[in-house]
Structure 1
Amino acid sequence: MKPLRKDIKPGMLVLFVQKKHQASGELTEGIVKSILTSAPSHPHGIKIMTVDKLVGRVTEILDSEVD
């Protein structure tokens, strides 16, 4: 099951799928800067923007420790 919005916080390390990689399912690792999805859940994953300004949908939380 994909993580819920309430489980994702800025500063977390996550795996996510960028739109250009949706077909292949290629995952990218990044640190959450902001959460773009307002709904509590989404079938394709919560959309986020990373500190590197990449946008994608979270598939997995790698490190929930926020610095």
Structure 2
Amino acid sequence: MNGQNRKDIKIGALVDIVLKKDQRTGKLTRGHVKKILTNSQFHPHGIKVMLEEEDQVGRVQIIAE
């Protein structure tokens, strides 16, 4: 599942995000969602979240299940 719909993302879910510094390379970082930062229900580049691990912030690319 991609991370464009807010309703698909839950607190504690395992996700792959792209950090701001990695947007050019597309390198993904895996972690658990601590906080959902995007208020809108849909975002074409992915919903922005904060991970529990080191409070990293990025846009969800993949929701791991």
TM-score by length of 2: 0.91
Matched residue type, 1:28: T
Question: Under a length normalisation based on structure 1, what TM-score does the superposition of the two structures give?
Answer: 0.88
Q: Deviations over 1:21-48 (max 9, x none)?
A: 0000000001000000000111110000
Identity rate, percent: 54
4+ aligned runs moved over 6 Å, structure 1: none
How many residues align structurally?
63
In structure 2, list runs of 5 or more residues that go unmatched: none
Provide the secondary structure at the position in 2 that maps to 1:6: helix
Q: Which residue of 2 aligns with 1:19?
A: 20
